[in-house]
Structure 1
Amino acid sequence: MTTLAYTKNGGTYVGRVWLADIAGPSVVTVRDGRLVDITSKTAPTVRDVFELDDPLAHVRQAEGRDLCAVEDVDSADGITLMAPSDLQAIKACGVTFAESMVERVIEERAAGDPDKANELRRKIGAEIGASLSEVVPGSEKAALAKQALIREGLWSQYLEVGIGPYAEVFSKSQPMSAVGTGALVGIHPESRWNNPEPEIVLAVNSKGDIIGVTLGNDVNLRDFEGLSALLLGKAKDNNASCSMGPMIRLFDETYGMDDVRKAELDLAVSGTDGYKLEGHSNMGKISRDPTDLVKQTHGRHHQYPDGFMLFLGTLFAPTQDRDGEGKGFTHHVGDVVTITNAELGALSNTVELSTKCPEWTFGTGALMRNLAGRGLL
């Protein structure tokens, strides 16, 4: 199955591929079932496309070079799909779903120990989940719920960002560091409790306009984050720990924000040991509207001159036992993780240790030199 979803769903898409013949990345779109290189002096990067007055018209009308059939992109010689963003900051929102909010509290109480998590899940999971499932973050009801949970000794920093007025927004990864579909994703070698996080990712330009959307895997180390919230950087940002793709679907007459609000993601994990895990995330259950998360990220308080990609969080927090009763889920090297959505395609990656994934060496400086050498700057 191709990773792309264009032939049956239409839409307007933009992404990036690595081309062996130029030893660098190119901006691509899809036209009539063909992958087309539309890199130009006008818009040599995806960032530049999104800063145009009319990104949609540019992607649809720009002259281009035919590369291959969409159905052949996964096997085409000399063409590799990359993460669809380039110079944009890569940000992420946490604790945006009530069910996964409870799991963050459990991680904290277990201090990153998966063996303690199952007992805590039985003791406090249902109690917190039932009380918060209908609470609107930042509302008067949320404030009352906070006071009640404090009295019961159940308050947590995760609940503060889950139902309080301020969303959790953190830097997931560095510009240019994300990997695309088909690549290896990395787990820190010292982690013993970790999981995939299937998410919708918004593409936002420097003005705060939401241009489109793609799929993302916010690979997460539950033990590091549970040990201390101050280890969030180590839990989230490691070599190859961020995956996005296959391409960005631009907002047009066929797809818009209302489609994002009702999007459903399916996740499948297939291990070399025969283990199977299936999961689901429903954007209809998010506690904060995606546009509010964008406003909390961008504004007079914080600018992004190259735009940003914003992970919206996930409903999915796996608890299915893998290595023994009560031990829950954690990745094994060799796991194939596939996130699918009918309108956006499929994002598939294989799990490896971050120390064994290819090193990230092609950064912003390398991109600028490559584009200059091609006469695009």
Structure 2
Amino acid sequence: MLVGRVWRAGKPAGPSVVAIRSDGVFDLSATVPTMADLCNAPDPTGLARNTPGERIGALQDVIGDLLAPVDLQALKAAGVTFAVSLLERLIEEHAKGDPARAEQVRGELNSIIGADVSAIKPGSPEAEALKKTLMARGAWSPYLEVGIGPYAEIFTKAPPMAAVGYGAEIGIRPDSDWNNPEPEVTLIVSAKGRIVGATLGNDVNLRDIEGRSALLLGIAKDNNASCALGPFIRLFDATFSLDDVRRAKVDLEVTGPDQFRLRGSSDLSKISRDPTDLVAQAMSAHQYPDGMALMTGTLFAPTEPRKPGGTGFTHMVGDLVSIRSPKLGTLTNKVAHCDRVPPWTFGTGALMRNLAARGLLR
């Protein structure tokens, strides 16, 4: 059961919640004006499946009008949820954001840590013992705290309504020289904390900026068009469940205007914290009345040099980024500088006024 959002032409034009069916794309907005309404329903799958809706065409007719498949939901992300991503964050921190020092630091950290971090359960007695050892050696870090400590790193990736969808440009800051895509499974969570489905996400990361200081996370993560979600939400039903999410494999391919090609993958079965734990921590002391989209982190951290003799991977304007997973489809975006992509102007207030003008608010 696939649902999404499409920008429909008309007077006035505006976004519509749609269901993707074998016989076409159906507008459900007369029943559920926002995706938050649908995902907060007692039975989102049944509502999406059984609402007749207005047929607006075949999928190929609307593919160019797809939007991010969430609207009012909070856009959250979990970081340092894989051992590989933990090590890469440590490398960024110790290299002070300088990609030229990354390989040297990588070797130094491997000798200092001296343990298979992937085998350590966060918050366990073994994790606490490793923490004490590393602190005694002066090697403790905020990234280790969230990587193997009891509390997960949960941050706001972008404001609601700011994510871009399939086919849109995705943004990096022009003053970043070391950055990469982060292909992730994204959980769709109701206001009550129930995971109702999943989609794909790209949690773009500016490694040089975050590496200078963990306190620069907001600048490194939340920029215009730096969050892509889509193409659709796959709702849970008899054919797709949370166990499918736990086993999901996500492949990534970057094809550059310089003929460079990068491939990688992320395997959610290797995550250090279960998706239900991440949701519980995200909602432990906060309410999200419109629900949330929670990006779960990635195993993928590219280190392959982009140029002969180079110091590692970084994006180039014009890169085509494709994130694929067999049960969630393909999310494709082209990289641009965030000050050159279309500005974000359609926020929550604009959505409410638009729905009211279309007679969809009750």
Question: Unpaired segments of 5 or more residues in structure 1?
Answer: 1-11
Which residue matches 1:51?
40
Identical positions, percent:
57
Match of 2:330 among 343, 346, 359: 346
* Residue 376 of structure 1, CA deviation: 0.8
1:103-142 maps to which residues of 2 (within 5 A)? 103-125=88-110, 128=113, 130-142=115-127
Deviates more, 1:303-312 or 1:321-330: 321-330
Which residue matches 1:295?
280
Q: 1:129 to 1:24 in 2, by over 3 A?
A: farther
In structure 2, how many angstroms separate the alpha carbons of the residues matched to 1:139 and 1:366?
Answer: 47
Letter in 2 for 1:154: A
In structure 1, how many angstroms separate the alpha carbons of the residues matched to 2:42 and 2:79?
Answer: 31
The one-character-per-residue Cα deviations of 1:68-99 (angstroms, maximum 9, x if unpaired) are 22244435xxxx00000000000000000001
1:305 counterpart = 2:295: no
1:327 counterpart = 2:317: no
Which residue matches 1:5?
none
Q: Quick check: 2:168–2:334 contact (8 Å CA) kept in 1? A: yes
1:66 counterpart = 2:55: yes
1:75-224 maps to which residues of 2 (within 5 A)? 80-125=65-110, 128=113, 130-224=115-209
In structure 2, how many angstroms separate the alpha carbons of the residues matched to 1:370 and 1:72?
Answer: 23
In structure 2, how many angstroms separate the alpha carbons of the residues matched to 1:353 and 1:74?
Answer: 24
Which residue matches 2:224?
239
Deviates more, 1:312-321 or 1:129-138: 129-138
In structure 2, how many angstroms separate the alpha carbons of the residues matched to 1:123 and 1:136?
Answer: 23
Q: Quick check: 2:112–2:139 contact (8 Å CA) kept in 1? A: no
SS at match of 2:77: strand
* Residue 130 of structure 1, CA deviation: 4.0
* Residue 19 of structure 1, CA deviation: 1.1
Q: 1:126 to 1:342 in 2, by over 3 A?
A: farther
TM-score, normalising length from structure 2? 0.97
TM-score, normalising length from structure 1? 0.93
Letter in 2 for 1:137: P
Q: 1:207 to 1:339 in 2, by over 3 A?
A: same
The one-character-per-residue Cα deviations of 1:254-302 (angstroms, maximum 9, x if unpaired) are 0011000010000000000000000100001000000000000013x11
In structure 2, how many angstroms separate the alpha carbons of the residues matched to 1:31 and 1:332?
Answer: 37
Question: Unpaired segments of 5 or more residues in structure 2?
Answer: none
1:263-274 maps to which residues of 2 (within 5 A)? 263-274=248-259
After the TM superposition, which parts of structure 1 deviate over 4 Å for at least 4 consecutive aligned residues?
none
Match of 1:29 among 7, 15, 19: 19
* Residue 190 of structure 1, CA deviation: 0.7
* Residue 326 of structure 1, CA deviation: 4.9
Deviates more, 1:128-137 or 1:284-293: 128-137
SS at match of 2:121: coil
SS at match of 1:309: strand
Letter in 1 for 2:22: D
* Residue 127 of structure 1, CA deviation: 5.5
Which residue matches 1:17?
6
* Residue 14 of structure 1, CA deviation: 1.2
* Residue 119 of structure 1, CA deviation: 1.2
In structure 1, how many angstroms separate the alpha carbons of the residues matched to 2:114 and 2:276?
Answer: 25
SS at match of 1:133: helix
* Residue 210 of structure 1, CA deviation: 0.7
Number of residue-to-residue matches in the alignment = 360
1:227 counterpart = 2:216: no
In structure 2, how many angstroms separate the alpha carbons of the residues matched to 1:46 and 1:309?
Answer: 11
In structure 2, how many angstroms separate the alpha carbons of the residues matched to 1:316 and 1:125?
Answer: 18
Letter in 2 for 1:34: G
Letter in 2 for 1:262: R
SS at match of 1:74: helix
Which residue matches 1:4?
none
In structure 1, how many angstroms separate the alpha carbons of the residues matched to 2:110 and 2:63?
Answer: 42
In structure 2, how many angstroms separate the alpha carbons of the residues matched to 1:51 and 1:293?
Answer: 19
In structure 2, how many angstroms separate the alpha carbons of the residues matched to 1:222 and 1:118?
Answer: 14
In structure 1, how many angstroms separate the alpha carbons of the residues matched to 2:141 and 2:114?
Answer: 13
Q: Quick check: 2:6–2:62 contact (8 Å CA) kept in 1? A: no
The one-character-per-residue Cα deviations of 1:350-370 (angstroms, maximum 9, x if unpaired) are 000000000000001110011
Q: Quick check: 1:33–1:70 contact (8 Å CA) kept in 2? A: no
Match of 1:365 among 323, 342, 349: 349
